[in-house]
């Protein structure tokens, strides 16, 4: 398949040619996509979605905005504005009003993860954990198709003051030279693999040429294997992409392709099987991750099947995340008790080779907090929690306990157990917030981008 069609809110009518969507369903997609970004392509439409049962198909729900992703009052008012052909300014104002209520940047991404270099904030880097930085190349801040749950939806929705992006590799290299504890670079987006190979090479080759002995791993976060495996097979520069991967591994740097798979259906096509094999031949490893999502994969059988298929293809299951409190969280969210039950049941039904996966994990502002159990201790029912990663490295691996709350969906919904006033990390975390010594993210200004 060499043809590539993108379907977005601007050409929703073209979807009529490919599906049995009613005019009302098309209208509902149009309404919701004014708020949450919509983009899909012919691979998703033709190879991943079961159009005989599309309303319940996880790939359809994963790609096509659903009415219930907005509050009923928001949907109804916006629907009326669109039907009545209200002025664009009025529609845009109401859309912005809705978006601001959807927690556009959870876990302190804008406030506490953006670092500085020589007194200037670096737009396009996040440095939350000592060993790892996230790098957002500006040309990679879109995707082959958009997930309806995406916690980075502001990147694609025109909220310019909430975008990450960086063109300046020199600033990245200088920042790495000044922060020698950094061993891992995660190139992310959007999806960096929407970039042309020549652009990706510009960034990768600069990192290799900088000869930074402390850099042991380059990670690339991508949904391409799921939404456009032809990126590695038949795109005009697919071989160049694979050559870039090979240059990284030949340089003695570990290359980890952090691939997002949300459902076993994404692993069933011939194209994805061939693409995985092509990537593995470069010496790169593929690690897999996904949030736990109501309507998509909130069933332990789905997860155990997905992990088995990934391992059979030579990939490494890595993370099960709890969906972040942003965007359509009310539609996708799963409470912590159910999340733990799903993880535990799935984990129990796979062999040890699949149990590299960690979860369920909350990527909160203090760090990645894992639910490791629900227990009764001294007569009190509690969640047993643990930092997989933390803003302060000493927090990692320390178990702690929260009062059991059957409705909790995030760490912010929990209280310390056993009469404690605060969790063990909170005093130091608040001190870091007040003294502004949290690692900051890189938001780069226009005058620097031309360099």
Kindly list the domain boundaries of the chain, sorted by start residue.
6-100, 109-447
pLDDT for 103: 78
Residue 331 CA to residue 150 CA, distance in Å, equals: 12
Collapsing DSSP states into helix, strand and coil, what is residue 201? helix
Q: What is the largest CA-CA distance in the chain?
A: 63
Residue 441 CA to residue 299 CA, distance in Å, equals: 36
The closest alpha carbon to 95, from 79, 118, 84, belongs to: 79
pLDDT for 325: 85
pLDDT for 88: 94
Residue 216 CA to residue 182 CA, distance in Å, equals: 9
pLDDT for 443: 34
Q: Which residues of 51-88 are buried (b: 16+ CB within 10 A; e: fewer)?
A: eeebeebbbbbbbbbbbebbeeebbebbbebeeeeeee
CA distances from 270 to 111, 277, 288 (A): 43, 11, 18
The closest alpha carbon to 157, from 169, 148, 167, 168, belongs to: 148
Residue 386 CA to residue 267 CA, distance in Å, equals: 31
Q: C-alpha angle with apex 203: 198 to 205, nearest 5 degrees? A: 85
For residue 125, the surrounding DSSP H or E stretch is: strand 125-129
Listed in sequence order, the DSSP H helices in 318-409 are 329-332, 336-348
Pairing of strands 116-117, 120-121: antiparallel
Q: How many other CB atoms are found less than 10 A from the CB of residue 116?
A: 16
pLDDT for 190: 86
Q: Which CATH superfamily is domain 109-447 in?
A: Aldolase class I (3.20.20.70)
Backbone torsions φ then ψ of 43, nearest 5 degrees: -65, -45
DSSP 44-104: IIIII--GGGGGG-HHHHHHS--GGGS-HHHHHHHHHHHHTT--HHHHHHHHHHHHHTT-S
Backbone torsions φ then ψ of 8, nearest 5 degrees: -130, 180
For residue 429, the surrounding DSSP H or E stretch is: helix 426-435
For residue 250, the surrounding DSSP H or E stretch is: helix 238-250
Q: C-alpha angle with apex 366: 340 to 374, nearest 5 degrees? A: 20
Return the C-alpha torsion angle 154, 157, 163, 169, nearest 10: 120
pLDDT for 11: 57
DSSP 347-363: HHTS-GGGTT-EEEEEE
| Digitized pLDDT (tens) for each residue of the chain, 451 residues in all | 344 556 665 555 555 555 578 889 999 999 999 998 899 999 999 999 999 999 999 999 999 999 999 999 999 999 999 999 999 999 999 999 998 888 776 645 455 678 777 877 877 889 999 999 999 998 888 899 999 988 665 665 555 444 444 567 888 899 999 999 999 999 998 899 999 999 999 999 999 999 999 999 999 999 999 999 999 999 999 999 999 999 999 999 999 999 999 999 999 999 999 999 999 999 999 999 999 999 999 999 999 999 999 999 999 999 999 998 888 899 999 999 999 999 999 999 999 999 999 999 999 999 999 999 999 998 999 999 999 999 999 999 999 999 999 999 999 999 999 999 999 999 999 998 887 554 433 333 222 222 2
Helix, strand, coil shares of the chain as percentages rounded to 5? Answer: 45, 20, 35
Tokens of 323: 């969906």
Task: Report whether 439 contacts 445 (CB < 8 A).
Answer: no
């Amino acid at each position: 398949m060499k043809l590539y069609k993108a379907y977005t809110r601007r050409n929703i009518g073209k979807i009529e040619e490919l599906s049995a969507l009613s005019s009302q369903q098309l209208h509902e997609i149009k309404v919701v996509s004014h708020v949450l970004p919509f983009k899909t392509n012919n691979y998703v439409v033709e190879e991943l979605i079961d159009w005989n049962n599309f309303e319940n198909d996880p790939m359809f729900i994963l790609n096509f905005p659903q009415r219930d992703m907005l509050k009923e009052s928001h949907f109804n008012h916006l629907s009326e504005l669109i039907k009545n052909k209200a002025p664009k300014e009025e529609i845009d104002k109401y859309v912005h009003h809705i978006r601001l209520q959807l927690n556009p940047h959870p876990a302190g991404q804008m406030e506490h993860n953006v670092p500085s270099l020589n007194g200037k904030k670096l737009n396009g880097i996040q440095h939350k954990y000592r060993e790892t930085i996230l790098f957002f190349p500006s040309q990679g801040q879109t995707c082959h198709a958009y997930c309806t749950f995406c916690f980075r939806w502001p990147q694609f929705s025109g909220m310019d003051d909430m975008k990450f992006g960086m063109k300046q590799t020199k600033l990245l290299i200088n920042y790495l030279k000044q922060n020698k504890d950094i061993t891992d670079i995660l190139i992310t987006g959007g999806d960096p693999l929407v970039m042309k190979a020549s652009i990706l090479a510009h960034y990768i080759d600069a990192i290799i040429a900088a000869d930074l002995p402390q850099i042991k791993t380059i990670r690339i976060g991508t949904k391409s294997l799921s939404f456009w495996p032809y990126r590695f097979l038949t795109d005009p520069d697919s071989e160049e992409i694979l050559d870039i991967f090979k240059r990284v591994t030949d340089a003695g740097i570990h290359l980890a392709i952090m691939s997002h798979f949300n459902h076993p259906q994404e692993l069933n096509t011939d194209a994805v099987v061939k693409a995985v094999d092509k990537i593995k031949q470069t010496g790169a490893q593929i690690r897999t991750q996904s949030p736990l999502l109501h309507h998509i994969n909130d069933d332990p059988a789905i997860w155990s099947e997905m992990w088995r298929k990934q391992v059979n293809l030579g990939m490494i299951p890595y993370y099960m995340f709890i969906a972040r409190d942003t965007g359509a969280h009310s539609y996708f969210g799963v409470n912590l008790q159910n999340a733990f039950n799903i993880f535990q049941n799935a984990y129990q039904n796979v062999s040890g080779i699949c149990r590299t996966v960690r979860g369920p994990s909350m990527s909160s502002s203090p760090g990645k907090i894992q639910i490791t159990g629900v227990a009764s201790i001294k007569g009190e029912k509690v969640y047993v929690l643990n930092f997989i990663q933390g803003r302060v490295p000493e927090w990692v691996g320390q178990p702690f306990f929260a009062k059991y709350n059957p409705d909790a969906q995030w760490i912010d919904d929990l209280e310390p157990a056993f009469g404690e006033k605060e969790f063990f990390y909170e005093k130091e975390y608040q001190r870091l917030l007040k003294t502004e010594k949290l690692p900051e993210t890189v938001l780069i200004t226009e005058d620097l981008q031309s360099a």
